[in-house]
Structure 1
Amino acid sequence: MLLDVDNITLLYGRIQALHGISVTVEEGEIVALIGANGAGKTTTMRAISGLRAIASGRIRFNGVDITRMRADLRVIQGICQSPEGRGVFPGMSVKDNLEMGAYTRRDSANIAKDMEHVLELFPRLRERFKQPGGTLSGGEQQMLAVARALMSRPKLLLLDEPSMGLAPMLIQQIFEIITEINQRDGTTILLVEQNAQQALSRAHRAYVLETGKIVKEGTGRDLLHDPAVKDAYLGVA
């Protein structure tokens, strides 16, 4: 098992945001977390990446207990996040943004190879290579955020709302690239996404969160056809 999140709780002041969340991710999987706004999806992601400290429970990654490990050390362990809202460095070029993704690495030759690989995945970034990140469109910034995360050569790629604010055609394109990253490169992916249709169509397994609790789990296919999930998240009865 690559990631084992075991019964974690998390507090924002006196408010309990997560109530005993348990999630597992096997190597090579795409696992999705779906749910409405405020369900605890992004909070769970931040707990895994180390951006929010948990109150109780345990997180193990690749056999190592990382529960109290600093966020930057988790990146070195192999966890990298493409954050909600993209978080590109607006004054830095596309090239510099991508190089920032590899800041923990020292293998220059392989960094150059990976740069070429992400530019093949996202040809638009090659066209915008010298432009400041802040001048890119929303879709291009999302591509840059994912590509920057890939530059760390993650064992586990955390994608937080990759389709947020994108036009339907770009949403389809982003999810096709996510599938390619998983299938061609073998990268394990944990995906937080409000577009349940796309997420469940691509995921091997998924969890449904409501008010900081997991209320359903199963294969992506099973949840895609679950009547309650259809009614709540897919807009069909």
Structure 2
Amino acid sequence: MKGQEWYQADDVAEAYEDKRFSRGGRLIDDREKAAVLNALGPVEDKDILEIACGTGRFTAMLAKEGANVVGLDISGPMLQQGREKAIQLGVDDHMELMRGDAGRLPFPDNHFDAVLAMRFFHLADTPREFLREMRRVSANQVFFDTFNRFSTRSLYNWTLPMGSRLYSGTEVARLLRDTNLELAGSEHDWIFPYGFYRQIPGSVATAFRKLDTVIGSSYVGDRLASVSYWDARV
């Protein structure tokens, strides 16, 4: 996994959400959470697994919506941030966070109603193996996002110390086929890359986001989108 040691550092975990989801990054946080809820909802009483849960942004949100959630991550410091978040929100009674390897999930087949992974596949060296494990432990649904190869993300990627794995729609289709998953729906968004929004104040970001959505809703929007959300069925 790219950046594995970096994500496990205490200082990275402590600053992770403030660095990425403040300022213009709040728009990213809102959109990602909406994408997850739109795909998985209603989630009350569902058993859900999030792999690479990090600081528990989505895990805690789903628990607050009434799901029984397990979050798995390789970073102990990230998980500690998630546990503190669960206590603050009062959802620690039906939200479990555990350290583990997403390539060898410690659960039986068909154990969860849904399995999700956000901000994960751009770091995956062997995406097919991870997706196969997600499919194995899900009885119904697998949801994940990717950064897109033919988009502004490819330019922004050059500035990143770790880079990102970028995917075309053809590559995602092949991954789904190879892991016996059927695509039920997809959404494509963000003409301007995430890194751009994180660098500007929220008020400025809101104006750019309006332009972003206008372009995104045009006939070329899906082709230019830097992020895709994939909703698959077992």
Name the TM-score, length of structure 2 as normaliser: 0.34
Which one has the bigger helix percentage? 2
Name the TM-score, length of structure 1 as normaliser: 0.34
Which one has the bigger strand percentage? 1
Of structures 1 and 2, the one scoring higher in RCO (CA 8 A, sep 6+) is 1
